[in-house]
Structure 1
């Protein structure tokens, strides 16, 4: 049963110690099929990316937050400094909170005195800036004379509160210390005293123009046992779509979640709201919210998701387009939207137990998400297009197709930091029947049922994934469930020296037996490179193919094709694709080599149009096309890039 409101916060590790310290900790009455399990990474692809995050990205956070003015604003609000508010937006506090969350998850990886000192110092700034009633937003405290909740559409006060709560929950789960959690609870209590239905006696019936507080409040309920936080989250989710902010899709006010049939509006706002809907369905058993979540996820993935897992078709409002409106050079695919997609899909995977959600997580992590940070961890992409044309004129700023040190709206960099720092909590799950492996990394997977296995793999470069049982109950069988990615055309399994030919059902290959320490299972996923075509209703890429290998989407970059740009390149689909391992390139990657031509197109003169040619040109200079993983583009020099390649 849920704890009463008078119960103290749960000490770290006192409930479900294996999976409890991650971003999603299910409540005691959760209706989820699966619960998070712990993974300790010790080698391989994702360990390298996390080491860069720990060594470079997170440590540079305090300096960047100082130079951008975020920390200065907190000092001003606390009366500890003089000057003017710095920043262009009323939600700059969230950059601080997302960095604090990233730093908290990083502290879980081991002692780091410098990082811990920065965390303690910045928590002190946050606490000092909080008003006596619990309210905290430096923009409104300093620029707007202390007014509260007068601009819910653009002010983002609750959005800021949500990120503060998530940072506080992370810090408390990792350290057991209450300082930041006390600040967050005080703010949440103030919000709870202000917002409610008209008959509740509370002064404001309203929602924030940027959903985020909803899923944060669910997690605060999970951390503290305070049911009113869960109820407040439900209130906010259900009040979206009732015209409280004018009825616009942009701020998720056009249709209630329960009635929606497609994802619309600002992509990040939509996905954060749907993550909260999945959380509520998990904690309350609300069947209508679960059905809506499943319906909307299906609509998104079948009609509005780019090959990279990227989401968002339009620059102007950072929003979804129409079904099958998936442009290339004008794709928005905000890095934050990729992160929100992972968060929502993980909640859906736990709620339903279905592998398809983790299929999308894999695609998004390796492509649409990871492209958002440079290989050195110092530069970022806010938008992630699938093509940069020859002669591209870059607008600069937040919509640049060139990597940037920081942004005026710096939502993406600390968001990337917090996902990478907590990544081990999105890789595996357990249930009463055993352990489920959602993502393949080298390391130790542990479940609360006394189960531990070690995984050794060079995935995604090689498809061999070896598991060794290290701990297991001696008196009962359990099931090891391995996700077989939808892209995989050939899968083989060995248990010890014997082949295993069990069926793949709904994306899972399940092996049930009474295990013993030392038992081995080897999963072989064929990683042959492949050409992918889009649904013919995607006009932007009709007559084109993309190169994929395993979970990786590939692209061409101009630097690998001297002698001209990429706009005239054509791939020859009749010739086989070849694989080349390049330890010298981009930190060590596997490239895919294809045959192609540089089209021989005559000068159009003054008018680039003419009669249709029923026999497309096949001539032109033969050229070898070298494709690199999409996540690694824009790490050498500026130039053109493309994922989708014309075939004629």
Structure 2
């Protein structure tokens, strides 16, 4: 639907919809002031973001900008042509954080680095230190690997964030000058532009849409549409890796490099939103459905292959070799949020919740100083770690440091992804946090909860129009089979029967200040099995509770590794809150046994005797001794000592 006069402008955040956007929902304002996500954001604010300038200095990113600006001497530092993006993603994270900072240290760092970026820019608007310093200033001669437009995209997003939070034009001026230079160079044959081409790493597309939203310049939207539609036409050799095999409008499944695919599809959703392009909307819905049903791990992680960081075949979802890059989880959240706004459907926010609590949050340590680039679902006993970007051990920084500042920027802007409003003045709560949700003018609801540890979510109307009804819509997660709701003023709340339709529980009335709604989501731990076509986990189950996926770590199971552990599914799961463990977590306690497996000979295989017509045995070991299993939330793994880990547990 188109925006009407009753719908407020999109608040400050990464997605600011245009006035004529064809959407069902628009982002609402949320302030997080306590609880689970405030804790994670405070670590981001006081540890992760402040260490950024020092790390960018030690890695050479800022040195490269000084070289390009002519204020330093030396050699280019870094292994990749896209190292500038680490600076831009950090600037974006810092920009979202600025309104919440009381002192001036962060603003000082931001201003200093913006000045450095502006000084490095060429007179024609071009900016990429790798090509300026190592390639004699050549431009757009290696679109497959050079990533100049990818770098431009992250610069634009940082500039938009800085302008939205401060109103200052300095970085936005740099970004517009670069975007104008790109617009003068790229276009269809016959357009008068010199190059008909695309970047090997999509990113500039969705950034250009946001630049259009910020400036009102239609040509930026048109340029984004050009880039999206030129993918899949063989301009980079026709490789699936860089989304050049099939046009977006014709694709039937996600493929190639996971992050690149998801950034491109976020842009497709943006274009459908701003232009009303039904073909792009249909393609986005089709590809999202294909991804979630056949190529998404239980953690929300995406990417089956270390080789080329790409999606595998349908149902190819390995465990110890799962890639699940942290950046892919972030891109998934960005795409799903755009789809939620476009369609109004709860399923997109279901995936956002799963990804945020699991596949995304595992990427940063509890202390905010160490990171995972890849997020496997199993680390075997005796694992030999390769180190570097593909390490299963947390790392201080990476040679390809795309993930840490990407985590920083999502956490710093997290409140933007939690709630929405609609043309009728309703409020939709997508994610449950402690804080205030403000939708249409005069509508404010306070939320208090200990989610995800407890399932009680209490919402109190603080501000409401007195003369009109509006609908409070609460997302009921797909995993939840036990839902209760009470309404009224405390005390005296009464049970309220309301159907859950397409994932939403909708309460429409003329509200009064002090009205309360208490949503109870059952958080009994559960066992989850995968589709039988997922060969890697056949005969296994995963433990889940609420939005959290759980795992075993070796440190909690002395006396052996985890490869010989079997879960006893006939025994009930128990819950134990551990305020002393991993910053305070609720664990799940289960019964299992440690198998006694016969000593292997020279050959680890043996024949199965089927002459009697009986079924082959499913377990060649002897029963073994009972063992109590302690499962912790997956996001908290790898924060203690090194050792094995597993999400999927054998049952036989």
Same fold (TM over 0.5): yes
Cα deviation 1:563-620 (Å, max 9, x = unaligned): 0000000000000000000000000000000000001110021111002376665610
Shift of 1:3: 15
| Alpha-carbon distance between aligned partners in 2 of 1:367 and 1:612, rounded to the nearest angstrom | 39
Does the CA contact (< 8 Å) of 2:3 and 2:22 recur in 1? no
| Alpha-carbon distance between aligned partners in 1 of 2:406 and 2:538, rounded to the nearest angstrom | 34
Does the CA contact (< 8 Å) of 1:434 and 1:449 recur in 2? no
- The 3-state SS of whatever aligns with 1:85 is coil
Does the CA contact (< 8 Å) of 1:9 and 1:225 recur in 2? no
| Alpha-carbon distance between aligned partners in 2 of 1:5 and 1:214, rounded to the nearest angstrom | 29
Give the TM-score normalised by the residue count of structure 2: 0.96
Shift of 1:9: 15
Structure 1 stretches lacking a partner, 5+ long: 11-20
Does the CA contact (< 8 Å) of 2:426 and 2:440 recur in 1? no
- The 3-state SS of whatever aligns with 2:628 is strand
Cα deviation 1:26-54 (Å, max 9, x = unaligned): 00010010000011011000000000000
| Alpha-carbon distance between aligned partners in 1 of 2:540 and 2:175, rounded to the nearest angstrom | 50
| Alpha-carbon distance between aligned partners in 1 of 2:476 and 2:8, rounded to the nearest angstrom | 42
Q: How does 1:174-185 map to 2 (within 5 A)?
A: 174-185=165-176
| Alpha-carbon distance between aligned partners in 2 of 1:635 and 1:294, rounded to the nearest angstrom | 37
- The 3-state SS of whatever aligns with 2:447 is strand
In structure 2, the CA distance between the partners of 1:3 and 1:425, relative to structure 1 (3 Å rule), is: closer
| Alpha-carbon distance between aligned partners in 2 of 1:228 and 1:504, rounded to the nearest angstrom | 43
Report the counterpart of residue 419 of structure 2 in structure 1: 428
1:132 to 111, 115, 123: 123
Does the CA contact (< 8 Å) of 1:3 and 1:226 recur in 2? no
Does the CA contact (< 8 Å) of 1:163 and 1:216 recur in 2? yes
Does the CA contact (< 8 Å) of 2:3 and 2:23 recur in 1? no
In structure 2, the CA distance between the partners of 1:9 and 1:33, relative to structure 1 (3 Å rule), is: closer
Does the CA contact (< 8 Å) of 2:3 and 2:19 recur in 1? no
Report the counterpart of residue 630 of structure 2 in structure 1: 626
In structure 2, the CA distance between the partners of 1:639 and 1:178, relative to structure 1 (3 Å rule), is: same
| Alpha-carbon distance between aligned partners in 2 of 1:434 and 1:117, rounded to the nearest angstrom | 40
Does the CA contact (< 8 Å) of 1:552 and 1:629 recur in 2? yes
Cα deviation 1:267-287 (Å, max 9, x = unaligned): 000000000000000000000
In structure 2, the CA distance between the partners of 1:294 and 1:41, relative to structure 1 (3 Å rule), is: same
- The 3-state SS of whatever aligns with 1:515 is coil
Cα deviation 1:473-532 (Å, max 9, x = unaligned): 110000000000000010000006111111000000000000000100000000000000
Does the CA contact (< 8 Å) of 2:3 and 2:20 recur in 1? no
Report the counterpart of residue 636 of structure 1 in structure 2: 640
In structure 2, the CA distance between the partners of 1:239 and 1:199, relative to structure 1 (3 Å rule), is: same
| Alpha-carbon distance between aligned partners in 2 of 1:417 and 1:607, rounded to the nearest angstrom | 49
Shift of 1:110: 3.4
Does the CA contact (< 8 Å) of 2:96 and 2:162 recur in 1? yes
Does the CA contact (< 8 Å) of 1:5 and 1:225 recur in 2? no
| Alpha-carbon distance between aligned partners in 2 of 1:213 and 1:172, rounded to the nearest angstrom | 18
Q: Which moves more between the two structures, 427-436 or 455-464?
A: 427-436
Cα deviation 1:346-387 (Å, max 9, x = unaligned): 000000000000000000000000000000000000000000
Does the CA contact (< 8 Å) of 2:8 and 2:440 recur in 1? no
Cα deviation 1:15-36 (Å, max 9, x = unaligned): xxxxxx1000000010010000
Structure 2 stretches lacking a partner, 5+ long: 610-617
Q: Which moves more between the two structures, 154-163 or 106-115?
A: 106-115
Shift of 1:342: 0.1
- The 3-state SS of whatever aligns with 1:84 is coil
- The 3-state SS of whatever aligns with 2:100 is coil
2:136 to 124, 131, 145: 145
Report the counterpart of residue 615 of structure 2 in structure 1: none
Cα deviation 1:411-436 (Å, max 9, x = unaligned): 00000000000000000000124000
Shift of 1:118: 0.1
Shift of 1:6: 27
Shift of 1:111: 3.0
| Alpha-carbon distance between aligned partners in 2 of 1:468 and 1:6, rounded to the nearest angstrom | 23
- The 3-state SS of whatever aligns with 1:127 is helix
Does the CA contact (< 8 Å) of 2:425 and 2:439 recur in 1? no
1:283 and 2:279 matched? no
Give the TM-score normalised by the residue count of structure 1: 0.97
Does the CA contact (< 8 Å) of 1:3 and 1:225 recur in 2? no
Count of aligned pairs between the two proteins: 638
Does the CA contact (< 8 Å) of 1:4 and 1:225 recur in 2? no
Cα deviation 1:255-299 (Å, max 9, x = unaligned): 000000000000000000000000000000000000000000000
| Alpha-carbon distance between aligned partners in 2 of 1:2 and 1:331, rounded to the nearest angstrom | 41
- The 3-state SS of whatever aligns with 2:519 is strand
Does the CA contact (< 8 Å) of 2:523 and 2:546 recur in 1? yes
Report the counterpart of residue 482 of structure 2 in structure 1: 490
Compute the RMSD of aligned alpha carbons: 2.5
Cα deviation 1:170-193 (Å, max 9, x = unaligned): 000000000000000000000000
2:529 to 529, 533, 536: 533
- The 3-state SS of whatever aligns with 2:308 is coil
In structure 2, the CA distance between the partners of 1:463 and 1:130, relative to structure 1 (3 Å rule), is: same
| Alpha-carbon distance between aligned partners in 2 of 1:611 and 1:479, rounded to the nearest angstrom | 64
Deviating beyond 6 angstroms after TM superposition, the runs of 4 or more aligned structure 1 residues are 1-10
| Alpha-carbon distance between aligned partners in 1 of 2:203 and 2:301, rounded to the nearest angstrom | 20
In structure 2, the CA distance between the partners of 1:362 and 1:580, relative to structure 1 (3 Å rule), is: same
| Alpha-carbon distance between aligned partners in 1 of 2:6 and 2:232, rounded to the nearest angstrom | 34
